[in-house]
Chains A and B, each alone.
Chain A
Amino acid sequence: MAVKTILPFGPQHPVLPEPIQLRITLEDENIGQVLPALGYVHRGIEKAGENNDYPLNVFLVERICGICSATHGLAYCLAVERLLGIEPPPRANYLRVVWAELHRLHSHLLWWGLLADAFGFESLFMQIWRVREMVMDVLEKTAGNRVIISVNAIGGVRRDLSEEQISEMLHTLEECEKQLYALLPVMLNDYTVKKRTAGKGVLTSEQALRLGVVGPTLRASGVAQDLRMTGYAAYGELGFEPIVEQGGDCYARAVVRARECFQTIELVRRALQQLPDGDILTKPRGNPNGKAIVRVEAPRGELMYFVVGNGTKNLERMRVRTPTLANVPALLEMLPGAEFADIPVITLSIDPCISCTER
């Protein structure tokens, strides 16, 4: 007879950098029901966003999530710009793409490292994080900080790139790409990686669409949906094509993110080559009034900002919908039936970001 155990996974667990609790019912080694318990990192940022002045909120929303902070700042600025009716200069749009894509690159590399760590492939973890440090150096040199770079401002960007910085950035990215190519055979074809990810946590495209999954998790299930296709900032002019895989398992999700790393490098390169001259900031005037919804593609998927202005310095309401919230239901469908040892890999495969989700 199968022995039933209820296992609390988290809130503090070595595989999770963030606290989330999954209450897992085990029948011998197989997973039955999974119940998530959220709320460990809820800080009340949406409410705080109503108390601050609207330009100050940029710094607050960047701290919703440290890993995709550039995307949060970008989405908030786009929303407020729409309320104010201002258009950032073209150069600012391109620079926004450059920094947002560099953030995506470091986020995907970070995820790959954590994945390798989750199934005990320590050396791959170290190798990937060594490549990631090059991206962090580029961010620090151009934006002044490693993680939270705070480049977006309402009406444009805060910092410009000089010719030297551009050539140095291109050079570092080339080196980064070369090292990633050297690691790629291990990342995609290694026996350990395949054994632990292929066929685990399968999500079909019907399931993905029904559950409203977003981001690389959705694209790995064969659905070509990426908000960069809508062409916000300068994406419309860079010839963006989404990356799609058909497998729907953890391996397909890993492949999507690996391929997106190279795509990201290519996008940064194109943006820097086509970088127009001119101003980087349109001065915002007046106070925001009305409602605006903005959707952008964060490294983990669709990120939505809804802001309501009332003609004063403070916003009436700021609502954020983050990608992980949309992906947790998929996780709860992937886990039942899987084996106990696969919990870390399947949980990581949606790239959970709890501080985004709970704010």
Chain B
Amino acid sequence: MKLIDRARMKSPWVLHYNSGSCNGCDIEIFACMTPMYDLERFGIVNVGNPKHADVLLVTGPVTYRGARVLRNLYEQMPSPKAVVAVGTCACSGGVFRNCYNCIGGVDKVIPVDVYVPGCAAKPEAIIEGVLMAVERMSEHTPLKRGK
């Protein structure tokens, strides 16, 4: 068990979901994977399957229709898991706060561990956010709790 936990902290896999964002933050998440920023040097891999993922990156103010998908994705992820809200909309609703089809913020739907503000959030900030989420996640695991 200890070995698995240690491995998980060294290589967290991220899943990305756009729940009503303008694409700005999504392309910055993609930019994190490319040579200039290169998230993979931290062992972070972008996956498409929620059952493989440890960290969920959510962008956008969460629309009513997207909320169900977002909740589904979150519930399909195995524990321990962490959620990073990327961008101002995901943190609070941003400019879309008063739009009729927006719930306004990811934390209204699923629990959020790390908030990354910015419109669009910069790749440096997103990397920092993912690393903070991993740190937080390791605090919940038996590995650290035993100490």
Name A's B-contacting residues (CB within 8 A): 11-14, 17-19, 39-45, 47-48, 51, 59-60, 63-67, 69, 110, 113-114, 125-126, 129-130, 132-133, 136, 145-148, 353, 355
Contacts and interface: CB of A to CB of B under 8 A. Distances in A.
B65 interface: yes
Given A44-B101, A48-B96, A147-B27, A130 B34 contact: yes
Q: What are the 5 A-B residue pairs with the smallest beta carbon separation, nearest first?
A: A66-B24, A14-B48, A129-B34, A66-B23, A44-B99
Contact of A44 (B26, B48, B102): B102
A228 to B, nearest CB: 23
Contacts of A13: 48
B23 A65 contact: yes
A125 B40 CA distance: 15
Given A43-B102, A148-B119, A17 B27 contact: yes
Nearest to A11: B69
A283 to B, nearest CB: 24
A130 B36 contact: yes
A217 to B, nearest CB: 19
A69 B22 contact: yes
A41 B60 contact: yes
A44 B65 contact: no
B26 A18 contact: yes
B145 to A, nearest CB: 32
Contact of A45 (B16, B66, B99): B99
A12 to B, nearest CB: 6
A60 B21 CA distance: 13
A42 B73 contact: no
B28 A146 contact: yes
A17 B30 contact: yes
A129 B31 contact: yes
Interface residues of B, number: 40
Given A13-B48, A136-B31, A43 B63 contact: yes
B20 interface: yes
A65 to B, nearest CB: 6
Given A44-B100, A63-B96, A133 B31 contact: yes
Q: Which of A67, A129, A145 has the most chain B CB atoms inside 10 A of its CB?
A: A129
B44 interface: no
Given A41-B20, A51-B98, A60-B95, A19 B31 contact: no
Interface of B: 16-28, 30-31, 34-36, 46-48, 50, 60-61, 63, 65-66, 69, 73, 94-96, 98-102, 119-120, 122
Contacts of B25: 66
Nearest to A15: B48
21 contacts: A12-B69, A14-B46, A17-B26, A39-B65, A41-B21, A41-B60, A43-B99, A45-B96, A48-B96, A63-B24, A66-B23, A66-B25, A66-B27, A126-B34, A129-B35, A130-B36, A145-B119, A146-B28, A148-B22, A148-B119, A355-B18
Contacts of B35: 126, 129-130, 133
B74 to A, nearest CB: 11
A297 to B, nearest CB: 19
Contacts of B18: 17-19, 41, 355
A133 B95 CA distance: 27
Contact of B28 (A12, A42, A48, A147): A147
Contacts of A51: 98
B66 A19 contact: yes
A14 B13 CA distance: 13
A69 B50 CA distance: 30
A155 to B, nearest CB: 21
B26 to A, nearest CB: 5
A113 B66 CA distance: 26
A149 B120 CA distance: 10
B63 A64 contact: no
B65 A148 contact: no
